[in-house]
Amino acid sequence: MNMMRTGILIAGMTALFLGVGFVIGGETGMLIALVVSIGMNVFAYWNSDKMVLRMHGATEVTASSHPAYYNQVAQLAQQAELPMPKVYLMDNPQPNAFATGRNPENAAVACTTGLMQMLNKDELGGVIAHELAHIKNRDTLIMTITATLAGAVSMLANFGMLFGGRGRNSPFGMIGTLAMVILAPMAAMVVQMAISRTREYSADKLGAMICRDPMALANALRKISGMAERVENHSAEANPATAHMFIINPLSGARMDNLFSTHPNPTNRIEALQQLASEWGTPSRSAHTIDRPSYAEQPQSGHGGPWGGAPHSQDKSGPWG
């Protein structure tokens, strides 16, 4: 059902883009819009992952530089039956994470230093599993396409404001063009946000299956959603079009689960995970439970430090046995 809904929304976004082209220049404008959309999506398909990682100052890490972090990603990727993604770290105090890449074979997971410092090992595993779920569901490609189309709609709307309605190819004249300039970007944003929110719930559920602990992810969401509201993410504020990629909205303001939010309300997501834990018979941890040491504070061996040390064992029972 979620995939069908996502497909319908992407089709709606594409139709909106072509409609903007038609308003600006009739059939010729619609054809140009089609060519532009194909070109932009081909470029985004091959380059979007590198662009977004660069935007957020992400640095690739290895098994030798950050063994505990790297090996936890490797173990969870194996549990998810995914190829090993590239692993990145962002020097950012806001606790957050995202995944990117055009397919599972060319994917990357990026976490912030703030996330490492706040969460314990199980909670970090829940966040990583959520991002791996996005990769497994191919949400990273879906989000790239919708973000590209949304940007293209806004670009065409601005173009129409300058040139639309003046030529004989425009069937609606200046009044129609003005209405399009105002409404089209808003409609594109609504569709983009609807797709994003749909995919977050799916990634939460699959992520819980991957890490075998719904409450680890629920507790992580509780912690980082509260802190993300208080700690500014400068790179995300400078690049708001990437906000939908993060596990929690990295932008200040607009935290409500409404038509214009990039993410579902964290409370709704936590409740859904608590319900899943109840169905699986996983014990629920209340918001007032005393947490174990964060990932950065746990005893490490080998390299030491917040992300050094040997890989941790994750052998435990869960919905996968």
Active site residue 297: no
Helices and strands (H, E) in the chain, number of each type: 9, 4
Out of 131, 232, 279, 297, the active site residue is 131
Q: Which candidate, 149, 169, 145, places its Cα nearest to that of 157?
A: 149
Cα–Cα distance measured from residue 218 to residue 215, given in angstroms and rounded to the nearest whole number: 5
The CB-side HSE value for 42 (13 A sphere, CA atoms) comes to 6
DSSP 246: B
Contact indicator for 201, 111 with CB cutoff of 8 Å: no
The amino acid sitting at 52 is V
The CB-side HSE value for 102 (13 A sphere, CA atoms) comes to 10
Cα–Cα distance measured from residue 224 to residue 295, given in angstroms and rounded to the nearest whole number: 14
The amino acid sitting at 152 is A
Cα–Cα distance measured from residue 140 to residue 37, given in angstroms and rounded to the nearest whole number: 18
Q: How far is CA 12 from the centre of its chain?
A: 20
Token reading at 81: 């039956």
Q: Contacts by 255-263 with C-beta closer than 8 Å and gap 24+?
A: 255/229, 257/197, 259/190, 259/193, 259/194, 260/189, 260/190, 260/193, 261/193, 261/197, 262/193, 262/196, 262/197, 263/196, 263/197, 263/200
**Cβ neighbours of residue 289 under 8 Å, at least 6 residues apart?**
219
Token reading at 78: 């194996």
Q: Please give the positions annotated as active site.
A: 131
